[in-house]
A and B are shown apart, each in its own frame.
Chain A
Amino acid sequence: MKKIHIIVCSIIMVVSYFTYASILPDYTPLESSILFSHEFHVVEQEIDCFSCHESVKSSDLSSDKNLPSMDDCGNCHDISDDESCNMCHKDADEPIEIKNPIRELIFNHQIHIQMDIDCEKCHAKVSSSNNPNVNNLPDMKVCLTCHNNLNDSRGCITCHSSGILLTDIHPFDWLYKHEAGATSEPEWCAQCHDNQSDCTSCHRGDNLTGSIHDLNYYFTHGLDAGSNNLSCQKCHDNTNFCVACHEQGLRMPLNHSKVNWRLIHGIEAKQNVENCAACHETSDLTCSRGGCHNDFDGIKGTDPPIHDTDPAQFNERGFWHKDQNYYCYQCHTSTQNSNFGFCMYCHNGIED
């Protein structure tokens, strides 16, 4: 019974192979049977590209065959001389015609030539080539130098006529491998992905799969929040993002539990003031709570300072004179009277 299965499977495989082989287009690579030096013709003889490839001037399809015919060669060479066949044909006894590969791309030589785009911009280094081959044809990367999202927003359909499924462009293993391309050649992505959510639908901060941060990052992120806060801010707005957990979950940052936190928190505030403001400004102002940084007695120098008292800073009539709710008065609660307390710091009892 097993043998029958093996035989049936083998027959199916062989039939499938030949069926597919007959369906697939007959592709003849341009590694041609012709001996030809572009360098000699273009550089040494200074022959213009269009002398041989004249048809490109009116070519509007990628499937057009724009290679010179033997008659074109005959404009300069004596093609009637049977003795000199092997000057161009690798195998003069059985010369092979170069077949155009089937191309489904949308490409119009005529438009590009009318825009005075130099042939070598796309056909790189063709003028120094001594052997016509596929290396002189542009790959998609060359197209993207002009047809990037900045200059041309039409995306894939600029060149690819047929409807393309996303999965055709992003192969099966794209999920694992896209990082390398996205970081080194982002213009490839930007060609189609002008919708920001294409990235953020996965890279959105939930860290469900550890794609960006490792799975334990929830527990170790304090390392980065302390020393590398700027990197966090590239993707996360600390006021919005951090507060979502720290305030709603009533979880204090780990450094707040240090035994000497009350003594050293000023240093942290100077270094990472954005982190402080993210939580402490959205709730009640912790600094002045419990009488810590609260100048309720109006006596200068009796409370731990939170800022420098630069005389030059306070000599001019600042907003605090007009605005009774100005933030000075959140801590300096003693008075708003020039004869007493906080105002006395400058006014010395003199009304101004």
Chain B
Amino acid sequence: MIKLFLYALLFLQLTCVFVVAADGNGQLSSEVYLYEQDSTKHTRLYQSLRFNLNLWKHYDKKITLQNYTRWTTDFDNKFTTDPQLFVYNALIFFDNIVPKSKISFGRQFVYTSTGSDLIDGVNITNRSLSNLRFQIFGGIRVNRLDPETILNDDEYKVAGVQTYYSISKNVRLGLNWFSRIQDKEIIYNRFGFNGNINYNRNRLYSRIALDPNLLTINEILFRIDHNYFKWSVGLEYLYREPSVTSSSIFSIINVNPYNRFRFNTQYKLNKQVRLIGNINYSLYEQENSLSGSAGFRTSVFSLFYNYQNGYGGDKNGISGSIYHNLNDNFSVYGSANVSRYRVQEEQEDLNDAYSTSLGITGRIDKTWQIRTEWQYLRNAIESSSSRIYLRIDKQFNFR
């Protein structure tokens, strides 16, 4: 089974590009990243291909192939995973072939509010009932350290269900289940409930996750957003109990749940300028944590102040970015980030971290785009590090 399925699907897809594809689009990207770290020189190459191909279309019915594959290596000092072929997506997608259903087979990312994974499997969404969306998925989990290998199906399976029921145009309720199975034993099991209400300029979202194995509430989230003309305000409460799989020996540790409050606001000064601020306050058992940021963003410029204090460490930082169109095809951009921080409370002196980047991006024609960026980093480990990033994208359409 090793690699066979993925390569077969990839081969099928590439064949279809030239033979039967009705239409579609895609992008071919080459990236080179040159830097030196810990006195080790790296020249990393990332070569990726992404495409959507409509094999067949008839009104609202279609069969599509989707793929995103990346090949990575290092010309100087290889990492243990180099060279690596990572197929992030390789699936065949049937849209409305079964009425009001979307079915996809292959490698894909699946998610619910209680869990997510990259799997090799099947994902079915059905909307036969007008107010109900029902989704079921299952497959074998992809090991990100060894993505070329499809695991033995006894080793690591993933399954889940997600349903959404719209009571009205503005009220939607969801119920979901996400489970991981290893060696025929359920090692991760979560039931979740979520609700979303939109009323005038308000949005209310809440979420609860339960662990049926340990009979505990794992997470409660409650969030309200309000928009009033130029103001947007959001308030969030989170209760969370850290957890590991029920078969883990770490599950015997009596964990400390924590509470977190978040407040964020945004004010549109005018069409160009937005003032943004947010504050997070987390209540832990031993030491609380306060963090926040404030700043503004325009279409060409942004500046933010970031702060963190308490559990996890301390940080004061300023970050900014600028963007300027030279003409219709070329633009320059830059960013800078300065911060003083400490991760350990015993640490007397704060560490400095400084980074800056300058880049130029250009469109050679409608389908070719290049981007080159110079980066400079200074931090606790690297007294001075200069890096170069280069990216070339080719977009293409099939007709």
List the one stretch of B10-18, B189-197, B200-208, B360-368 in contact with chain A. B360-368
Q: Does B293 contact A (CB under 8 A)?
A: no
- Smallest CB–CB gap between B324 and chain A, Å? 10
Pairwise interchain contact A214-B308, C-beta atoms closer than 8 A: no
Pairwise interchain contact B353-A307, C-beta atoms closer than 8 A: no
Residues of A contacting B381 in the complex (Cβ-Cβ under 8 angstroms) = 219
8 Å CB contacts to B: which residues of A145-196?
Answer: 150, 152-154, 163, 165-168, 172-173, 175-177, 180, 195-196
List the one stretch of A8-16, A88-96, A102-110, A224-232 in contact with chain B. A224-232
Q: Does B348 contact A (CB under 8 A)?
A: no
Pairwise interchain contact B108-A196, C-beta atoms closer than 8 A: yes
Pairwise interchain contact B291-A228, C-beta atoms closer than 8 A: yes
Residues of B contacting A172 in the complex (Cβ-Cβ under 8 angstroms) = 325, 328-329, 331, 363
Chain B binding site: helix, strand, loop or mixed by DSSP?
strand
Cα separation A165 to B27 with both chains bound (whole Å):
11
CB < 8 Å: which of B145, B284, B366 contacts A243?
Answer: B145
Q: Does B31 contact A (CB under 8 A)?
A: yes
Residues of A contacting B62 in the complex (Cβ-Cβ under 8 angstroms) = 153-154
- Smallest CB–CB gap between A224 and chain B, Å? 7
Known A172-B331, A230-B238; contact A208-B81, beta-carbon cutoff 8 A: no
Pairwise interchain contact A210-B335, C-beta atoms closer than 8 A: yes
Residues of A contacting B79 in the complex (Cβ-Cβ under 8 angstroms) = 248
Q: Does B128 contact A (CB under 8 A)?
A: no
Q: Does B89 contact A (CB under 8 A)?
A: yes
**Per-position contact with B for A82-123: 1 when CB-CB < 8 Å, else 0?**
000000000000000000000000000000000000000000
List the one stretch of A25-33, A35-43, A252-260, A343-351 in contact with chain B. A252-260
Pairwise interchain contact A224-B312, C-beta atoms closer than 8 A: yes
Q: Does A277 contact B (CB under 8 A)?
A: yes
Q: Does B248 contact A (CB under 8 A)?
A: yes
Q: Does B253 contact A (CB under 8 A)?
A: yes
8 Å CB contacts to A: which residues of B194-248?
Answer: 238, 240, 242-245, 247-248
Cα separation A258 to B347 with both chains bound (whole Å):
9
Q: Does B380 contact A (CB under 8 A)?
A: yes
Known A177-B299, A197-B50; contact A167-B395, beta-carbon cutoff 8 A: yes
Residues of B contacting A308 in the complex (Cβ-Cβ under 8 angstroms) = 254
Q: Does B83 contact A (CB under 8 A)?
A: no
CB < 8 Å: which of B312, B354, B379 contacts A228?
Answer: B312
Pairwise interchain contact B242-A227, C-beta atoms closer than 8 A: no
Residues of B contacting A227 in the complex (Cβ-Cβ under 8 angstroms) = 282, 289, 291, 308, 310-313
Cα separation A166 to B280 with both chains bound (whole Å):
38
Cα separation A165 to B398 with both chains bound (whole Å):
10
Cα separation A222 to B347 with both chains bound (whole Å):
14
Output the nearest chain A residue to B289 by Cβ-Cβ distance.
A227
Residues of B contacting A142 in the complex (Cβ-Cβ under 8 angstroms) = none
Q: Does A75 contact B (CB under 8 A)?
A: no
Known A176-B323, A255-B344; contact A209-B355, beta-carbon cutoff 8 A: no
List the one stretch of A53-61, A64-72, A264-272 in contact with chain B. A264-272
Pairwise interchain contact B355-A216, C-beta atoms closer than 8 A: yes
Cα separation A277 to B50 with both chains bound (whole Å):
34
Residues of B contacting A259 in the complex (Cβ-Cβ under 8 angstroms) = 346
Q: Does A327 contact B (CB under 8 A)?
A: yes
**Per-position contact with A for B100-139: 1 when CB-CB < 8 Å, else 0?**
0010000011000000110000000001000001000000
Pairwise interchain contact A273-B25, C-beta atoms closer than 8 A: no
Cα separation A340 to B308 with both chains bound (whole Å):
52
Cα separation A102 to B252 with both chains bound (whole Å):
70
Q: Does B178 contact A (CB under 8 A)?
A: no
Known A244-B145, A258-B344, A270-B256; contact A195-B238, beta-carbon cutoff 8 A: no
Q: Does B68 contact A (CB under 8 A)?
A: yes
Q: Does B275 contact A (CB under 8 A)?
A: no
Pairwise interchain contact B361-A175, C-beta atoms closer than 8 A: yes
Q: Does B392 contact A (CB under 8 A)?
A: no
Residues of B contacting A201 in the complex (Cβ-Cβ under 8 angstroms) = 27, 29, 48, 50, 68, 70, 88
List the count of A-B residue pairs having beta carbons below 8 Å apart: 222
CB < 8 Å: which of A180, A237, A255, A273 contacts B253?
Answer: A273
Q: Does B179 contact A (CB under 8 A)?
A: no
Residues of B contacting A237 in the complex (Cβ-Cβ under 8 angstroms) = 116-117, 144
**Chain B contact patch, size range:** 35 or more
Q: Does A63 contact B (CB under 8 A)?
A: no
Q: Does A80 contact B (CB under 8 A)?
A: no
Output the nearest chain A residue to B260 by Cβ-Cβ distance.
A230
- Smallest CB–CB gap between B16 and chain A, Å? 16
Cα separation A257 to B53 with both chains bound (whole Å):
51
Cα separation A54 to B353 with both chains bound (whole Å):
68
Q: Does A299 contact B (CB under 8 A)?
A: no
Pairwise interchain contact A223-B144, C-beta atoms closer than 8 A: no
Q: Does B60 contact A (CB under 8 A)?
A: yes
Output the nearest chain B residue to A327 by Cβ-Cβ distance.
B249
CB < 8 Å: which of B247, B311, B353 contacts A219?
Answer: B353
Cα separation A196 to B366 with both chains bound (whole Å):
24
Pairwise interchain contact A248-B250, C-beta atoms closer than 8 A: no
**Per-position contact with A for B315-329: 1 when CB-CB < 8 Å, else 0?**
100010001010011
Pairwise interchain contact B377-A216, C-beta atoms closer than 8 A: yes
Pairwise interchain contact B308-A240, C-beta atoms closer than 8 A: no
Known A272-B242, A327-B249; contact A163-B328, beta-carbon cutoff 8 A: no
Pairwise interchain contact B89-A195, C-beta atoms closer than 8 A: yes
Residues of A contacting B289 in the complex (Cβ-Cβ under 8 angstroms) = 227-228
A–B Cβ pairs within 8 angstroms, 15 of them: A165-B397, A173-B325, A173-B331, A176-B331, A197-B66, A219-B382, A227-B310, A227-B311, A228-B280, A244-B145, A254-B344, A270-B254, A271-B255, A285-B249, A307-B254
Name A residues whose Cβ lies closer than 8 Å to a Cβ of B: 150, 152-154, 163, 165-168, 172-173, 175-177, 180, 195-198, 200-201, 204, 206, 208-210, 214-216, 219-220, 222-230, 237, 240-241, 243-244, 248, 254-255, 257-260, 267, 269-274, 276-277, 280-281, 285, 287, 306-308, 327, 330
Name B residues whose Cβ lies closer than 8 Å to a Cβ of A: 23, 25, 27, 29, 31, 33, 46, 48, 50, 52, 60, 62, 66-68, 70, 79-81, 88-89, 95-96, 102, 108-109, 116-117, 127, 133, 143-145, 238, 240, 242-245, 247-250, 252-256, 258, 274, 280, 282, 284-286, 289, 291, 297, 299, 308, 310-313, 315, 319, 323, 325, 328-329, 331, 333, 335, 337, 339, 341, 343-344, 346, 351, 353-355, 357, 359, 361, 363, 366-367, 369, 371, 373, 375, 377, 379-382, 389, 395, 397, 399
Q: Which 4 A-B pairs have the closest CB atoms?
A: A227-B312, A197-B68, A226-B312, A215-B355
Given A166-B27, A281-B248, 16 further pairs, Cβ under 8 A: A153-B96, A173-B323, A197-B67, A201-B70, A214-B337, A216-B354, A219-B380, A219-B381, A220-B343, A223-B315, A226-B311, A227-B312, A237-B116, A271-B311, A287-B249, A327-B252
